[in-house]
Amino acid sequence: MKGVWVEHLPLVGTAGRLTRSRALASRPGLSFVDTPGGPVRVRRAPCARGPRLLIACDGPNVIEHADALLSALDGQADVVLFEPPGTGASVPARGFDFTISAFADACAAVLEAVGPRVLVFPCYLGLVAQAVALRVPSRVEALVLPQAPNFPDLGRWADVVDPRRLVRTPVVGQLLLGARTRAIAHGWYRASTSDRRFREPFIAAADLAFDFGGCFCLASLMQGFEASPAPVVQAVPMRAAVVVGGKDRTHKHTNFGQTLPGAEVVRFDECGHSPELEAPERFVRWLLPWLAS
């Protein structure tokens, strides 16, 4: 990847600013898990009963965005939250190329550390979840994919959010994100959330992560996925559902019925890009019976 090296440059990149002690003090239950993609920040909310969930964060969303979701799941599920490499406090390893395969390696290492789980992987991470499920099916109990497109529709999404291809231009994109990290994240929330009452809390949580040096390697992510071979579309050997937020303007051309063969499509028409975060109680009321049925 021609531009990934920029992420680690002092002051310029988005991945060289982390204050690790502050990142670990933000919430209870935080730690790091070593992966091939670098140390990944996780938050554990253990519970002796209910399903075992592994919930991924879709940057600029980070662990701090999931307080209400964890509250809704409290006492009903054993939860591990994590930030994939390039998101929040999960600084990517040097040489991490942000391809689907590289993300699958990192996420599989997290799964190995926490045991078999239901994967709740939003947006681009839906493609990673499918790769992990096919690689280690014995460790994946079900897939829940909020706002997760198929590979061609992810490319169309990229054309919507980056019409001039600045973010997808190596080096240029990394420098742009490094210089305007907060402004780009704030603009994303204005475009992707369903209602302004979510925007200020979401922006505040993202800014908290930026304050302790959290990264938002969107340029490297978009470039890495564009360089990835198109994955083979095939059904997975476990239950799967795609949860769709109907008010996300950035995905207005996405056909979520083609995300994964055999997956159930569940619509949260009042939500935007992150239905599990915008309507956490409704999400849990749907999720737990669906997993138990």
Domain span at residue 95 reads 4-292
Q: Tens of pLDDT along the chain (293 residues)?
A: 588 999 998 888 888 889 999 999 999 999 999 999 999 999 999 999 999 999 999 999 999 999 999 999 999 999 999 999 999 999 999 999 999 999 999 999 999 999 999 999 999 999 999 999 999 999 999 999 999 999 999 999 999 999 999 999 999 999 999 999 999 999 999 989 988 888 999 999 999 999 999 999 999 999 999 999 999 889 999 999 999 999 998 898 899 999 999 999 999 999 999 999 999 999 999 999 999 98
Instruction: Please tell me the predicted confidence (pLDDT) of residue 293.
Output: 87
Question: Which H or E element spans position 30?
Answer: strand 30-35
DSSP string covering 136-167, please?
Answer: -GGGEEEEEEET---HHHHHHHHHHH-TT-ST
Say how far apart CA 62 and CA 158 lie, in whole Å: 21
Instruction: Please tell me the predicted confidence (pLDDT) of residue 196.
Output: 84
Instruction: Please tell me the predicted confidence (pLDDT) of residue 142.
Output: 98
What is the CATH number for 191? 3.40.50.1820
Paired tokens of 268: 């949260």
28: alpha, beta or left? (left if phi > 0; alpha if psi -120 to 50): beta
Using DSSP's 3-state secondary structure scheme, residue 185 falls into helix
Tell which residue, 3, 59, 21, 13, has the closest CA to residue 192: 59
| Cα torsion angle, 59, 187, 258, 241, sign | positive
Instruction: Please tell me the predicted confidence (pLDDT) of residue 241.
Output: 98
- Per the structure, the count of domains in the chain is 1
Side-chain half-sphere CA neighbours of 16 within 13 A? 13
- Cis peptide bond prior to 60, omega within 30° of 0: yes
Instruction: Please tell me the predicted confidence (pLDDT) of residue 39.
Output: 98
